[in-house]
Amino acid sequence: MIVAQSTLAREPEVAIDRAGGQTTVRLAGPWTAPHAQKVEALTDEIATEAGTFPLTLDLGGVGRLDTLGAWTLNRTRHELSAKGQVDFANATPEQKILLEEAAYRDFQGAPKPRHSRLVDFLVDVGQSVAGAGRDMVGGVGFLGELISALLRVIVHPRRFRITAVVNQLEQIAYRGVPIIVLISFLVGCIVSQQGIFQLVKFGATPFVIDLIGILVLRELGVLLTSIMVAGRSGSAFTAEIGSMKMREEIDALRVMGLDPIEVLIVPRIMALVIGLPLLTFIASIAALVGGALTTWVYGDISPDIFLTRLRAAVSLNTFMVGIIKAPFMALVIGIIATLEGLAVAGSAESLGQHVTSSVVKAIFMVIVLDGLFAMFFAAINY
């Protein structure tokens, strides 16, 4: 931006006049970027020669003024203001606007207020509790939308996307079997080994079969499977839906008259609810096989004795406890994962944060839900 005024001077000029106890600095010529070196030299001269205040910077003779000249003059005025009053005079309306827009500013940030560490800690706790409450309310609301979409699918079966459900079952259950079997087998081995090492001191080695059978069927099988699914499939749900949200594909579905919950979320959660009990059963069998192998190696308990003792130690309700938990844990994982995916904003950083949040929240809620079920089944003596 350049402000023009007719003048005969071809270069920036300065005339300093001291009279009547004040100083007047008369500027002339073009105060523009092509004359930057001369402009800097003259402003330094003004700062050095100015001795009496108030001081007036007279712009009446300035022919051209751009942002460099305006900023340099403002900087000089700012520096001299520490010694006395400094004002601009005879500036045209255009020059006044430019001087105001290019005003010299101190870029030092405002000092941060000091807070007590205790107050900061309490604020963080309060914000976390409020955030958890908002997540709970949002989850309940989303569950209502999910049930509504599921009822619409039941009323209009043609809207049910069986292909999407089968595809998700393949991704969640079929492709997840190897890693879940391996983890469950190793955990069964470890629990059985540690149980033998402790019980052998009391001559009660056979009771390790009761330990591994009840622990795996009631708790470990479904808990390990849910944690693995939350980390593997839950994060995938969040990343897939979040990427679609970033590319505005979900908005495109709405424009086409399709419900994103029916198209994207119902098939995924249905596949989770079907697949997690199946994976829980497979994981429990793998853990029992690992426990049987370990008791054979470390406790001299043959597989025949293991199976006989296991049949006496566990009953149908022991097995059913783990299976009953699985669909509820699948529902919680699916709701959290899809909610976090829908909350993704338009950046890769937001996607990463919500994927991390999805896994952490899902694992936390799975453990909390397992504890609630444990108290419930204990209360009804099941």
pLDDT in tens, 5-42: 444 567 888 888 887 778 888 888 888 888 888 888 88
Give the HSE-up count for residue 250: Cα atoms under 13 Å, Cβ half-sphere.
19
Model confidence band, residue 194 (pLDDT cutoffs 50, 70, 90):
very high
Q: What is the pLDDT of residues 266-318, one digit of tens each?
A: 999 999 999 999 999 999 999 999 999 999 998 888 999 999 999 999 999 99
Q: 328 pLDDT exceeds 50?
A: yes
Cα dihedral 234, 240, 244, 250 sign? negative
Indicate the pairing of strand 22-31 with strand 55-66.
parallel
Model confidence band, residue 59 (pLDDT cutoffs 50, 70, 90):
confident
Most confident segment among 59-63, 106-110, 143-147, 369-373: 369-373
Q: What is the pLDDT of residues 102-146, one digit of tens each?
A: 776 654 555 666 767 888 888 889 998 998 888 888 888 888 888
Predicted confidence at residue 9, as pLDDT, reads: 61
State pTM to two decimals: 0.68
Q: What is the mean pLDDT of residues 210-227?
A: 93
Predicted confidence at residue 237, as pLDDT, reads: 92
Predicted confidence at residue 84, as pLDDT, reads: 79
Q: Mean of the per-residue pLDDT values for the chain? A: 87
Q: How far apart are CA 73 and CA 42, in angstroms?
A: 10
Interhelix angle 177-199/221-229, nearest 10 degrees: 140
Predicted confidence at residue 111, as pLDDT, reads: 60
Q: Are the beta carbons of 2 and 69 closer than 8 angstroms?
A: no
**CA 21, chain centre distance (Å):** 64
Q: What is the pLDDT of residues 331-351, one digit of tens each?
A: 999 999 999 998 888 788 889
**CA 61, chain centre distance (Å):** 59
Residue 15 φ/ψ, nearest 5 degrees: -130, 120
Amino acid at 175: R
Predicted confidence at residue 282, as pLDDT, reads: 96
